[in-house]
Amino acid sequence: MKILAFLFLFCSFVSFPQTNGDKYNDDVDVTVSLKKLEIKSGGTAQLIINFKPKKGIHINLDPPIEIELEKNFASKGKTEIPKMKKESYLNTEKPLKQNITLKKNITPGAHTLKGKLNYFYCSDSEGWCSRFTQDFQLNIKVIN
C-alpha cells in the first residue's frame, strides 16, 4: 500500500509536456502542474502553466489564453498572467497561474483533473500566427 501511495505522489509531482492527440506543438513546450496535490472536496488549488517557446516565438495575450476544465469537477477562479512590459505578450520567464475550486460533491480518493489550454503563438521573423489547443490531465488526491 505504501508503494502505491508513493507512486501516486511521484506521478503527481512529475509534469509532462501534454499533447493534443497525435498533435504536438514543435514551437512551444507547455507543462501543466498543480501547486497542491491533495485537495479537499470543495477546496482550492492552483494550476501552474509554464510556456517554453523556441527562440523567435512569442505567446499572444490577444486573443486571450483560455483554460477549460471539466465543469462537473472544478471551476476556475482568479488567473495570474505575467505580461511583457511593452508588448501584449505573455512573459514566458514566469508561470501563468490559474486558481481552481473543486466541486463540493467530489468523493475522497484518486481523481484525474482534465482540461484544455487554448493559446495563440506567433513567429517574429516569419510573420505568422497560429492557434493551438493542448489537452492536459493531472492526478490529484481528494481528501476529507
pLDDT, residue 87, reads: 81
What distance in Å separates the CA atoms of residue 47 and residue 50, rounded to the nearest whole number?
Answer: 10
What distance in Å separates the CA atoms of residue 137 and residue 123, rounded to the nearest whole number?
Answer: 28
List alpha helices for the chain, DSSP H: 2-13
pLDDT, residue 86, reads: 78
pLDDT, residue 36, reads: 87
Domain boundaries, the chain: 2-143
Digits of tens for pLDDT over the chain (144 positions)?
444 344 444 444 434 344 344 478 999 999 999 988 899 999 999 999 999 999 999 999 999 999 999 989 999 999 999 999 878 899 999 999 999 999 999 999 999 999 999 999 999 899 999 999 999 999 999 998
Q: 59: how many CB neighbours lie within 10 A of its CB?
A: 20
Sign (positive or negative) of CA dihedral 7, 37, 131, 82: negative
2-143 folds as Immunoglobulin-like (2.60.40)
What distance in Å separates the CA atoms of residue 124 and residue 49, rounded to the nearest whole number?
Answer: 23
Residue type, 10: F
Percent of the chain as helix, strand, coil, to the nearest 5: 10, 55, 40
Q: Under a CB-based contact definition with an 8 Å cutoff, are residues 92 and 59 in contact? A: yes
Q: How many CA atoms lie within 13 A of 114 on its CB side?
A: 7
What distance in Å separates the CA atoms of residue 6 and residue 14, rounded to the nearest whole number?
Answer: 12
